């Protein structure tokens, strides 16, 4: 038995993101990574090899809109939590015709009727108070139980995850005792 809201395999295939390249940053191929979360649906993050996030999506098959749950989860994963703004979240309901013939047949036979809800989180480049450009980055290092989202100047040192920096400072402090 699958969890309520879990995405069946036929819908997972229909929702799979195509390739692409990192737009206005490095031009390298985008990687799509599935992220584990306590929510029942599937969570994917599309980012370039440097960690610049193109978009993060969460999809759930059910009757409720998962936007609030997604926002709470993203705030737990982001440094600072205020990086997650309601205006950057977009909710959509995907229907059979736009998902392809196999998904359309599957959804037509599904009882009870449920919808595929998708929440998109996209943070466009913005300017910080100091005038520097900021972009959304993600860190997947094994040190973290979950991904860590943070903003950074893309021209600066790549991969300066605040959670990794905090952890290394804690380890240095323990070593000096």
* Interval 41-73: pLDDT, tens: 999 999 888 888 988 999 999 888 999 999 999
Boundaries of domain holding 34: 9-175
Could you give the number of structural domains in the chain? 1
Specify whether the CB–CB gap between 125 and 134 falls below 8 A: yes
Note the pLDDT of residue 176. Answer: 45
- Residue 1 counted as domain residue: no
- Residue 153 counted as domain residue: yes
The pTM is what?
A: 0.84
* Interval 98-157: pLDDT, tens: 889 999 899 888 877 788 999 999 888 777 777 777 888 998 887 778 899 998 877 765
Q: Give residue 24's pLDDT band: very low, low, confident or very high (50, 70, 90).
A: low
- Residue 142 counted as domain residue: yes
Q: Which one-letter DSSP state was computed for residue 81?
A: G
pLDDT surpasses 50 at 4: yes
- Residue 170 counted as domain residue: yes
- Residue 4 counted as domain residue: no
Q: Give residue 2's pLDDT band: very low, low, confident or very high (50, 70, 90).
A: low
DSSP 147-176: -EEEEE-TTS-TT--HHHHHHHHHHHHHHT
- Residue 102 counted as domain residue: yes
Q: Comparing 21 with 172, which gets the higher pLDDT?
A: 21
- Residue 160 counted as domain residue: yes
């Amino acid at each position: 038995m699958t969890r309520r809201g879990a995405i069946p395999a036929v819908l997972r295939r229909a929702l799979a993101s195509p390739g692409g390249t990192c737009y206005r940053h490095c031009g390298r191929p985008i990687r799509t990574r599935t992220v584990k979360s306590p929510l029942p649906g599937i969570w994917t993050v599309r980012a370039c090899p440097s960690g610049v996030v193109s978009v993060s999506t969460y999809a759930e098959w059910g009757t409720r809109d998962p936007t609030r749950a997604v926002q709470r989860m993203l705030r737990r994963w982001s440094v600072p939590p205020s990086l997650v703004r309601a205006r950057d979240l977009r909710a959509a309901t995907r229907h059979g015709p736009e998902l392809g013939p196999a998904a359309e047949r599957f959804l037509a036979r599904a009882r009870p009727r449920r919808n595929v809800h998708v929440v998109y989180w996209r943070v466009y480049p913005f300017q910080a108070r100091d005038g520097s450009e900021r972009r959304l980055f993600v860190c997947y290092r094994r040190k973290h139980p979950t991904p860590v989202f943070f903003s950074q100047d893309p021209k600066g040192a790549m991969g300066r995850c605040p959670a990794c920096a905090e952890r290394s400072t804690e380890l240095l402090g323990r070593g000096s005792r």
